[in-house]
Structure 1
Amino acid sequence: MTEMPEAEMPRSEMPRSEMIARKDRRAGRLTFNRPQALNALSHEMVQVIDAALRAWRDDPEVALVVIDAAGERAFCAGGDIAAVYRAGLAGDHRLGRAFFRDEYVMNARIAGYPKPVVAFMQGFVMGGGVGVGGHASHRIVGETTQVAMPETGIGMIPDVGGSWLLAHAPGRCGEYLGLTGARMGPGDAIFAGFADSFVPEADWPALKDRLAETGDVNLILPHPAPEAPLGDRDLSAFGAASVAEITAALQAAGDEAALKVLGRNSPLSLAATLALVRAARGDRDIRESLSRELRFTARATAESDFLEGVRAQIIDKDRNPRWSADAGPAHVAAMLAPLGEGELNWEDSE
C-alpha cells in the first residue's frame, strides 16, 4: 500500500487520521477510523473523502474505490454535528451551512463517480453514513448491518441524498422509513434500495484484498439475502396526503407502534420530510434532491427544531425534546424555498 501524498489531500489527512485515504495496488482505499465515536463523519473527514475522490478520478493506477470502516459497531452512525450545534446556539449559522454544502457535494461525487465504488457497510449505517455508502455503485451489507435515516427525531430531515433514496424505495417504504427513522437489517436494506449485495462479514477481508489486487468488481459474488420483513408490512397509511392524514390512517388501523414514533418526532421535520420524499420522486438526478435538502438544512439551525433535537438526544440526552417550530404549510414551504445566491452551484463543485 502507498499513502496518498500529503499534497493531494487536506492537512487533516495525517498519520492516525480519522479518515484514512491511501492507494492499495489497483484500489483507492477510504477507511473511517473513529470507531470510538461510531465513525461519526466530521467536516474534515468529508474534505478528505472529496479530495481523494478528485485525485483518483483520472489516476490510471486506480481502477476502483473501496470504502470501509474500522471497528465492528459501525460503518458510520451519522454526521458529527456537535460543532454545528455549538455554533448555531451561539448564533453562527455559517458553520452548519458550510458543512452541509461540502457534504452534499461529496455525496453527489460518490453517486456520479466514473469508477466503481464499493462500500462495505457493517453495524450502524445512519444519516451521514448513508450519504457515503448508500450512493456507492456496489453496496455490500453483512449480518450486523443496521441502516436508518433517523433525522426527524432530532428536528432534521433525511438529507445527504436520503430523500432521493427514500423516493426510490418500493411502495410507501420511503414515507415510512423517512418519517419514523425505522432501522433496516441487511435484507430490508436491499429490499428498500439502500444496498445491493449480502456478503458474510467473515468473507470481507479476502474480498477487499482481491478487489485491490485485480480492480475487478465482478469478483463480488452475493449470497442469498436475509429475509426482508419490510416487504410484508402494510404501509398503505403512509400514502395519505399529509402527516395528519397519515396519523389518522394509522389510528384507524390500530398501528400503535408507528403512532408512538411519529408522536415523539419533530412535527416540522415530519412535514418537510414528507414533502421532500414526494418531490424527489420527480427528480432526474440526485443533485436535484440534494439541492432541495440544502434549502432546509441551511436554515435548520435558525428556523427549525434542530438545535432542540440535538440538545435532547445528543447533548443532554434527556430524550425529551420540546418541539416549538411552526409545522404549518407556509413555514414548510418557506424552509424548502430556493436559497437564491446560497443555492448549490454544481458547476463550481466539479
Structure 2
Amino acid sequence: MSLTVLTSAYGHRLRSLCRLQRIQGHMMSSRVEPGVLLEKVGSAGVITINRPKVLNALDMTMVRQIYPQLKKWDNDDEIDIVIIKGAGGKAFCAGGDIRAVTEAGKAGDPLAEDFFREEYILNNAIGERYKKPYIALIEGITMGGGVGLSVHGRFRVATEKTLFAMPETAIGLFPDVGGGFFLPRLRGKLGMFLALTGFRLKGRDVQRAGVATHFVERKKIPELEKELVGLKSPSAEDVCRVLDSYQQQSSLDSDKPFVLEEHMSAIDRLFSSSSVEGIVQNLEADGSEFASKQAETLSRMSPTSLKITHKQLQAGATMSLQDVLVMEYRLSQACMRGCDFYEGVRAVLVDKDHSPKWNPSTLEEVTQQTVDQCFSSLGEKDLTF
C-alpha cells in the first residue's frame, strides 16, 4: 500500500474520529447544561433559567420541566417558597423561542398550537393557582415569555439591570402570556401605552410602573437570596418584610422621577380612545414631541396587531387571568393562521432589515370583522385548564 493511500486512510479516520468527538462533545454539553435547573435549597424550590447564550429564551422542553415541578413543590411540605431567576446576568428571560414557533407555524407543525397552550397553562399555574410565595428575580432582559414566568407571581424583584418590554406588536403578535390581564391593571392608560408601543422600562422604573413589586440593587441580590432560602416556614408577609428591608437599603436612582411621570396625564388622555385610529388621531393632533414620537412608533407596528391588542386589553380589564389566557390562546392561533407574525419575525429577528411589509398595511384596511374573528372560539381546540 502506497504512503499516499495510507496517509489518505489515516486522514479519513482522523476526520471521522474528530467528527465523532464533536458530536459526543455536543451531547455531553447538552447533558451538562440543561435549559432549566431545578433545585431544592433550604426550604425553597429554586428554578434557574439556564440558556444564557440565547438570553434564556423559553422553549417547549423548559415549559415541560417547570410546570410539573411547580405542581410538585406546591404540594411538598418541605418547600415553603419558590424562587425563579435567570443565569448569566444579561437576561431573566428575553421571551419565548419565537423562531421555533415560526418554523412550526409555517410547516403546520403542532408545536405552534402546543407551545402557546402549555406556556399559558404554566402562566396560570404561577398566577391564580399557586399557594406558596413565588419570587421572581427579574434581572436583565425580561420580555414576552419572561414576563409570563414572573408577573403573575406574588413577588417580582427588579434590579438596575432589569429591562422590561412587551414588544410584540412589532413582530405581528400581541402582548400575550396574560398581558391582557396585568397591563390594563397598571395605573391609568399606562398598560395600553406599553402594549401598543412596546416602550422599554428600565431598572427602578419597572417597579414604579407596577410591573415589579420591589427594587433591589443588583449587588444585594445574592444576600437577599440567601436570606430568603434560610427563612423557616415563612408566610407571604414574612417574605414581603424581607423584600421591603432590602428595598429600603437600595437607594440607587431613588432621586430620579419615573421616566414617564411628566407624560402620564398625556398618556391617559391620548391613549383613552375607543379605537386605535382614535389614538393615532389624538397623537397627531396633540403636536407635542412626545406625541409625535409615539405616532411614529405606532406607524411601524403591524396594524392588525395594534387592533387585536387594543381589544385584548379593553376586554381583559374585567376578566380573570384564566379567562384572559383562554382569549389569548385564540389570538395566538389567529396570528399563526395570518401572515404578519411570519413577516414580523423575518424583518426583526431573521433578516433584521426592520422593514416589514404588513398585510393589511393600514389601520383602515383592518376591518372590525377581521378583528372579531381573531377572538372567536376554537371549539374543542380552545384552551382548557
TM-score with structure 2 setting the length: 0.83
Structure holding more helix per residue: 2
Instruction: Report deviation, 1:268.
Output: 0.3
Tell whether 2:121 aligns with 1:108: no
CA distance in 2, matches of 1:69, 1:176: 27
Instruction: Report deviation, 1:299.
Output: 2.2
Q: Give yes or no for contact 1:77–1:128 (8 Å, CA) kept in 2.
A: yes
CA distance in 1, matches of 2:181, 2:208: 15
Deviation string, structure 1 residues 314-348 (Cα, Å, up to 9, x no partner): 111111111014622111100111211111112xx
Q: Give yes or no for contact 1:141–1:197 (8 Å, CA) kept in 2.
A: yes
> Which range moved further: 249-258 or 151-160?
249-258
Report the residue type matching 2:310 in the other structure: L
Instruction: Report deviation, 1:19.
Output: 1.0
Counterpart secondary structure, 2:295? helix
CA distance in 2, matches of 1:177, 1:47: 30
Q: Give yes or no for contact 2:81–2:133 (8 Å, CA) kept in 1.
A: yes
The partner residue of 1:24 within 35, 41, 66 is 41
Instruction: Report deviation, 1:93.
Output: 5.0
Q: How does 1:3-42 map to 2 (within 5 A)?
A: 15-42=32-59
CA distance in 1, matches of 2:376, 2:209: 29
Tell whether 2:249 aligns with 1:244: no
Q: How does 1:1-350 map to 2 (within 5 A)?
A: 15-90=32-107, 92=108, 94-112=110-128, 113-215=130-232, 216=234, 217=239, 218-220=241-243, 221=245, 222-223=247-248, 227-233=257-263, 234-235=266-267, 236-254=269-287, 255-283=291-319, 285-325=320-360, 327-346=366-385
CA distance in 1, matches of 2:101, 2:95: 13
> Which range moved further: 229-238 or 112-121?
229-238
Deviation string, structure 1 residues 19-51 (Cα, Å, up to 9, x no partner): 111111100000011111111111111111111
Deviation string, structure 1 residues 54-79 (Cα, Å, up to 9, x no partner): 11011011000000111121111111
CA distance in 2, matches of 1:340, 1:324: 27
Report the residue type matching 2:62 in the other structure: M
Report the residue type matching 1:315 in the other structure: V
Q: Would you say how many aligned residue pairs link Structure 1 and Structure 2?
A: 332
CA distance in 2, matches of 1:95, 1:256: 40
Q: Give yes or no for contact 1:41–1:78 (8 Å, CA) kept in 2.
A: yes
Q: Give yes or no for contact 2:160–2:204 (8 Å, CA) kept in 1.
A: no
CA distance in 2, matches of 1:14, 1:213: 30
Counterpart secondary structure, 2:136? strand
Q: Give yes or no for contact 2:142–2:163 (8 Å, CA) kept in 1.
A: yes
When the two chains are superposed, the root-mean-square deviation of aligned CA atoms in Å is 1.5
CA distance in 2, matches of 1:109, 1:25: 23
Report the residue type matching 1:246 in the other structure: I
Q: Give yes or no for contact 1:141–1:195 (8 Å, CA) kept in 2.
A: yes
Deviation string, structure 1 residues 77-98 (Cα, Å, up to 9, x no partner): 11111111112222x1521110
Counterpart secondary structure, 1:275? helix
When Rg is computed on C-alpha atoms for both structures, the one with the higher figure is: 2
**Residue ranges of structure 2 left out of the alignment (5+ in a row):** 1-29
CA distance in 1, matches of 2:85, 2:220: 14
Deviation string, structure 1 residues 199-257 (Cα, Å, up to 9, x no partner): 11101001111111215413222236563122331201110111111101000112221
**Residue ranges of structure 1 left out of the alignment (5+ in a row):** 1-12
